[in-house]
Every structure is written in C-alpha cells, then in structure tokens.
Amino acid sequence: MTVGLFIPCYVDQFYPGAAIATLQLLEKLGVTVVYPPKQTCCGQPMANSGYEHLTSGCNELFIDNFSDFDYIVSPSGSCILHIKDHLHSEKRENEAVQVRRKVYELTEFLTDILKVDHLDAVFPHKVGVHQSCHGQRGLKISQMTELVAAPFSKPEQLLNMVKGIELIPLSRQDECCGFGGTFCVAEEVVSVKMGVDRVSDHLEHGAEYITGADMSCLMHMEGILRRQGSHVKVIHIAEILNSSVQ
C-alpha cells in the first residue's frame, strides 16, 4: 500500500512540524509514504469565498499529483472534505471521482484503514481536544452533539492510546472556533470572539495543550493565546500521536 501525502499549504509554510509528524507516524506504522513535491493547495480558500470557478488549476494539479496512489492522506479535515465534495475535472472526471474515493484525513485513516489499536506515544499533559467542524460534521470523524446518535470520536480513540495523556472535559464539546477560512478576516470581530470563547473553555478546564485534526483552527486559537500572553500551546494531533519519551 502506497500513500500519497498531501500537506495543506499553510501547514507546509507555517507548521512543518505537523507535516513531519504525520510522515513519521505513518512510516512508523509500516506505511510507504510518498510526498509529491509539485503539490500546492486544495483550492478551498478560493472555493469557500465564492470563487470555486477559479479552482480548476488546483484541481488538475491535485489529480496530476495524487491519482496514482492507493490512498491519499492529509493532516487536515477541511482540505480532505473539500476534495471529497468539490474535486472535479472537465477532462478527467473519472479520475477525479477515483481520487475523491481514496482521500482520508489522518485520524480516520489510522482508525478505519490501518485499524491502529496501539501506539508507542507518550504525552504526559492535560490536553483539550478541539473538534474541527469540517472533519467532525463533514467527514464524520466524531459524533456531533446535534444528532441523537451514539457518541464516538476517532481522534480521542487514538489519543487514549497515548501514555500519560489526560483529556480534559469541555463545556461546549463541538462549537466552532471561528476560523472559517476568509471569514477570519472578513468577519474579524465575530471570528475572534468565537476563538476567544473557545480558548476560554479550554483554559477554564485546565488545558496545557489544545489539539485537533486541523491546523487552521489551531493557528487561529494560537494567535489568540499568544496575544493573551498565555503559556498554553496548540499542537496538531499528529505530533501527539508521534511523540515519544523525551
């Protein structure tokens, strides 16, 4: 099985640690991982702003880079959801459909395909888990509180395999952090208020770290934490699952 590694543009540029951890974790679990060097972006920032009609360049690049792999894995729920819902090609729609069927966000790949039941990770800290909306409600990575349905969480299932970790409870388990793509600047006031409230929930429950499957949410919350002068850090879930004894 060969996995094509797709790294979101902002993770590549600003949070390479999350990408490195994703790569190393998959390799530790016995996966052959290839990182196509010509990848750029899934196109979501344009599409969500109403400019989906400008994303064909990104779509074609994505198909060029990834159509040959058994699976395509990315440490980002929102990018994967975007590809799943919106990857199209005028000339190669069949290939686009195939690609859409084999894209996976990291945690769901670990639980559903690799069926990981054990990790050698160690992370003795109090951690708050942020449920990023697109992964949760879009990819069904964990149950949402809106539905009358049995609870489950793939990220937490994996985190519970990490030694020493303590997952803190939250008052609002799955409220949006307010990043929302260009929303974070177009509606800056409400975006920040949502982020501040989300961060407060974690702080009130004693988080030392806030983690999640989407670096975009974490980047937004980190911006707020650092502006507040807080010592609480954000960390992508891949980095926790990949952690070991220091």
Partner 1 sequence: MSTTSTKNHAELAGQFNADENRVDWHDETLWWIRQKRDKAVNQFPEWELLRETGSKIKEHTLSNLGNYLESFEANALANGVTVHWAADAKEHNEIVHSIIKKHGVNRMVKSKSMLTEECHLNEYLAENGIEVVDSDLGERIVQLAKEPPSHIVLPCIHKKKEEIGDLFHEHLGTPAGVSDPQILTETARQHLREVFLTRKVALTGVNFAVAETGEFVVCTNEGNADMGAHLSEVHIASMGIEKIIPKREHLGVFLRLLTRSATGQPITTYSSHYKKPRPGQEMHIVIVDNGRSVQLGRKDFRNSLKCIRCGACMNTCPVYRRSGGHSYHNAISGPIGSILAPNLDMEKYADLPFASTLCGSCSNVCPVKIDIHDQLYKWRQVIVKAGYTTKTKTVGMKMMQWTLSSPGMYHVAGKAGRIVMKYAPFAVNNALNPWYKQRDMPKPPAESFDEWYKKNRGKK
Could you say which residues in the range 56-115 bind partner 1, by CB under 8 A? 57-58, 60-61
Q: Which residue lies nearer to partner 1 by CB, 163 or 193?
A: 193
Q: Which residue lies nearer to partner 1 by CB, 162 or 238?
A: 238
SS (H, E, C) 203-226: HHCCCCEEEECCHHHHHHHHHHHH
The candidate with the shortest Cα–Cα distance to 133, out of 192, 86, 82, 169, is: 82
Q: Which residue lies nearer to partner 1 by CB, 30 or 229?
A: 229
> CB under 8 A: which stretch of 28-36, 99-107, 119-127, 235-243 binds partner 1?
28-36
Instruction: Tell me the closest approach of the beta carbon of residue 74 to partner 1, in angstroms.
Output: 12
Residues 190-219 that bind partner 1 (CB under 8 A): 190-195, 197, 219
Instruction: Tell me the closest approach of the beta carbon of residue 101 to partner 1, in angstroms.
Output: 20
Q: Do residues 217 and 225 lie in contact, with contact meaning Cβ atoms separated by under 8 Å?
A: no
> CB under 8 A: which stretch of 40-48, 91-99, 104-112, 236-244 binds partner 1?
40-48
Q: Which residue lies nearer to partner 1 by CB, 117 or 146?
A: 146
Residue type, 43: G
Q: Which residue lies nearer to partner 1 by CB, 16 or 124?
A: 16
Neighbouring-strand partners of residue 128: 210
Q: Which residue lies nearer to partner 1 by CB, 194 or 207?
A: 194
Q: Which residue lies nearer to partner 1 by CB, 18 or 240?
A: 18
> CB under 8 A: which stretch of 7-15, 97-105, 151-159, 201-209 binds partner 1?
7-15
Residue 53 contacts partner 1 per CB under 8 A:
yes
Residues 124-183 that bind partner 1 (CB under 8 A): 133-134, 137-138, 144-149, 172, 174-176, 178-181, 183
Among 30, 185, 231, 246, contact with partner 1 (rule: CB under 8 A) = 185
Among 6, 15, 71, 109, contact with partner 1 (rule: CB under 8 A) = 15
Planar angle of CA 197, 227, 129, nearest 5 degrees? 45
Beta strands across the sheet bearing 32-34: 32-34, 2-5, 71-74, 103-105
> CB under 8 A: which stretch of 106-114, 188-196, 204-212, 238-246 binds partner 1?
188-196
Contacts (Cβ under 8 Å, ≥6 apart) of 176:
133, 194, 198
Neighbouring-strand partners of residue 136: none
Instruction: Tell me the closest approach of the beta carbon of residue 40 to partner 1, in angstroms.
Output: 4
